[in-house]
């Protein structure tokens, strides 16, 4: 039964002459580099949320020792999160054709019988299930999070985070076992690069090579070019999301469009609108809105006019979302967070701060910032952007902006700042 070429378990069932160690090795080595970058930028992205600072920041509270690497995310360079997340998402999308081609190139192995020849072989096949399943899971959850208002059952963050560890463990084991052979295959005899004509009997015993290959319709290089072209196309239709201006319109695959930001000083990408967040104009008018600031010496309540009497400072900072999109630097103007800390008794050494918005529901209605982020002179409670008052959708009357931080920490519609013990 094993050799009946009508069954996928038979080597003769798989007839593409493209399959072979060279093709699989090239794709495997591209993924080795690419997925390593995805793993590192993914872990960094989690660290950038300040998850160890306060429970409200931590979307994966049960991570245990998987948080061993967390560190205080810096405020320099100010485009750090923009770069990290742009690379993570754009590279992830770009690698989709490479991943699919790699899986296609080894699919005969998935069906090979017997399921296990030995204990070692059984363990290897189980690890391959984790590898393939993990890869598909990470790419699918990532794309869904970027493209849709999240539809996956369960929260994206823990799924993608735990999935990454399981997947990367299997990936590291696989890479350790296979990279030496893959490198050898690339240096191997040239003639393996091109598909064997159908008439020529298969030589060697590599299980990837079909024993009865069909007639080639494309060379292996041609097939690689096709995969590379697909990757390039995805890159070209994604990368524009990390810019603004005309290039942004090339980002056809950028996150779910969002509301049209329009033009003018406030004409840059909007994540959640004021309407979506349930912010009513009556709450944000200068007559009703108050900023409540609490710290060592008690609580002060400031009107917008009070805030405007404090020294105003400017900072050029981007908004960079976990979804991969970002804006170029916007020109924010407002009160320094450390000046607000000083108002309530933290003159010399500003502490951490807990920021709350007018929003009543939603995971990002509040966030905690580190002492180092509060202390940075570019960290503002912004009232203006690009010379104009903040629009309702960008957080009017006041929002936080912090250099190098992810968008989630740039709370909009701020109502309350609590300095000190979180």
Ligand X SMILES: Nc1nc2c(c(=O)[nH]1)N[C@H]1C(S)=C(S)[C@@H](COP(=O)(O)O)O[C@H]1N2
Q: Which residues bind Mo ion (CB under 5 A)?
A: 321, 407
Quote the CA–CA distance of 62 and 290 in Å, as a whole number. 36
One of 392, 410, 417, 418 touching ligand X (CB under 6 A) = 410
Q: Does 46 contact ligand X by CB under 6 A?
A: no
Position 405 contacts ligand X (CB under 6 A) = no
Binder of ligand X out of 145, 359, 373, 379 (CB under 6 A): 359
* Binding characters for ligand X, 315-354, by CB under 6 A (x = yes): ----x-x---------------------------------
Taking residue 309's Cβ as centre, other Cβ atoms within 10 Å add up to 10
Please, what is the angle between helix 119-147 and helix 156-187, to 10°? 120
Residues composing the chain = 422
Tokens of 129: 């299930």
Classify 339 as helix, strand or coil.
Answer: helix
Shortest distance (Å) from residue 321 CB to Mo ion: 3
Q: Which is nearer to Mo ion, 150 or 162 (CB)?
A: 150
Residue 411 near ligand X by CB under 6 A: yes
Q: Which residues pair with 302 in a beta bridge?
A: 291
Q: Using CB under 6 A, which of 38, 53, 270, 383 touches ligand X?
A: 270
Residue pair 273/259 in contact by the 8 Å Cβ criterion:
yes
Q: Give the ranges where 330-414 is alpha helix by DSSP (H).
A: 337-343, 371-375
State the residue number with the nearest CB to Mo ion: 321
**Stretch of residues binding ligand X (CB under 6 A), selected from 117-125, 196-204, 341-349, 410-418:** 410-418
Question: For ligand X, which stretch binds (CB under 6 A), given 56-64, 122-130, 295-303, 356-364?
Answer: 356-364
300 preceded by a cis bond (ω within 30 of 0): no
Please choose, out of 146-154, 162-170, 270-278, 306-314, the segment that lies near ligand X by the rule CB under 6 A: 270-278
d(CA 17, CA 195): 5
By rule CB under 6 A, what count of residues binds ligand X?
19
Residue 270 contacts residue 393 (beta carbons within 8 Å): yes
Binding site for ligand X (CB under 6 A): 269-272, 277, 319, 321, 357, 359, 362, 364-365, 394, 407-408, 410-413
């Amino acid at each position: 039964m094993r050799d009946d070429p009508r069954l996928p378990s038979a080597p003769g069932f798989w007839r593409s002459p493209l399959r072979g160690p060279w093709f699989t090795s090239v794709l495997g080595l591209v993924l080795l580099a690419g997925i390593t970058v995805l793993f590192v930028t993914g872990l960094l992205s989690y660290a950038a949320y300040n998850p160890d600072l306060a429970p409200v920041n931590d979307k994966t509270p049960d991570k245990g020792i998987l948080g061993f690497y967390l560190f205080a995310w810096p405020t320099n360079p100010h485009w750090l999160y923009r770069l990290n997340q742009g690379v993570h998402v754009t590279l992830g999308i770009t690698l989709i054709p490479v991943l699919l081609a790699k899986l296609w190139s080894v699919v005969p192995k998935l069906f090979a019988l017997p399921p296990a020849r030995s204990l070692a072989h059984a363990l290897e096949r189980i690890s391959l299930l984790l590898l393939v399943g993990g890869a598909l899971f990470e790419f699918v959850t990532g794309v869904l999070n970027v493209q849709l208002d999240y539809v996956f059952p369960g929260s994206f963050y823990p799924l993608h985070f735990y999935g990454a560890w399981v997947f990367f463990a299997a990936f590291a084991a696989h890479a350790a076992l296979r990279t030496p052979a893959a490198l050898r295959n690339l240096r191997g005899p040239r003639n393996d690069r091109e598909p064997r004509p159908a008439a020529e009997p298969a030589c060697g015993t590599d299980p990837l090579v079909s024993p009865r290959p069909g007639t080639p319709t494309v060379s292996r290089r041609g097939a690689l070019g096709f995969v590379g072209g697909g990757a390039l196309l995805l890159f070209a239709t994604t990368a524009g999301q990390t810019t603004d201006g005309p290039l942004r319109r090339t980002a056809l695959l950028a996150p779910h469009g969002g509301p049209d930001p329009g033009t003018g000083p406030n004409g840059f990408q909007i994540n959640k609108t004021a309407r979506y967040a349930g912010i009513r104009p009556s709450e944000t008018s200068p007559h009703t809105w108050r900023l409540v600031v609490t710290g060592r010496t008690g609580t002060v309540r400031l009107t917008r006019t009070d805030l405007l009497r404090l020294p105003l400072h400017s900072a050029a900072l981007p908004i960079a979302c976990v979804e991969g999109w970002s804006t170029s630097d916007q020109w924010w103007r407002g009160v320094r967070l450390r000046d607000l800390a000083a108002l309530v008794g933290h003159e010399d050494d500003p502490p951490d701060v807990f920021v709350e918005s007018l929003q009543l529901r939603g995971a990002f209605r509040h966030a905690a910032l580190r002492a180092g982020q509060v202390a940075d002179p570019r960290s503002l409670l912004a009232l203006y952007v690009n010379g104009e008052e903040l629009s309702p959708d960008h957080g009017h009357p006041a929002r936080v902006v912090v250099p190098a931080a992810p968008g989630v920490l740039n709370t909009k519609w701020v109502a309350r700042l609590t300095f000190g013990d979180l």
